[in-house]
Amino acid sequence: MKVIHSSAIHFGRSFTDPRMPGDKLRAGIKSIFSGIIDIAKEESADLLILAGDTFDNIDVSQNLLDFFISEIKRLDKTPVMVLPGSCDQYEKGSFWEQWKILRPAENL
């Protein structure tokens, strides 16, 4: 069984240091995540585990959620397990509640 594991991606992170190009860093995070999906596909992974802090907080924009789900769907039938972390904890009002009701991707 091939398992790909990642954690602490921190989608949606705000970069408050004015010397850091936040938009470019956030684009880089997306690119790295797409690379993780590419590797899982190339290696024919049996499971992808995202173990905490996939998102930087519980108030995630719809655009970011749409990007995340579209990348997950690229894995087709490969199961993906996303676990809450200290930054994207499971609590009332979080995006996790939506996912509990609406299954955003068949393999998630």
Express each pLDDT in 82-94 by its tens digit. Answer: 999 998 888 888 8
Q: What is the reported pLDDT for 101?
A: 54
Q: What is the reported pLDDT for 68?
A: 93
Single pTM value for the model: 0.86
Overall residue count recorded for the chain in this entry: 108
Question: What distance in Å separates the CA atoms of residue 59 and residue 77, rounded to the nearest whole number?
Answer: 28
Q: What is the reported pLDDT for 42?
A: 97
Q: At what angle do helices 62-73 and 22-42 cross, to 10 degrees?
A: 20
Residue 100: pLDDT band (50, 70, 90) is: low
Query: For 19-40, how does the pLDDT look when each residue is reduced to its tens digit (9 = 90+)?
Result: 778 788 889 999 999 999 999 9
Residue 14: pLDDT band (50, 70, 90) is: confident
Q: Which two tokens stand for residue 40?
A: 């899982």
Whether the CB-CB separation of 72 and 103 falls below 8 Å is answered with no
Average per-residue pLDDT for the chain: 89
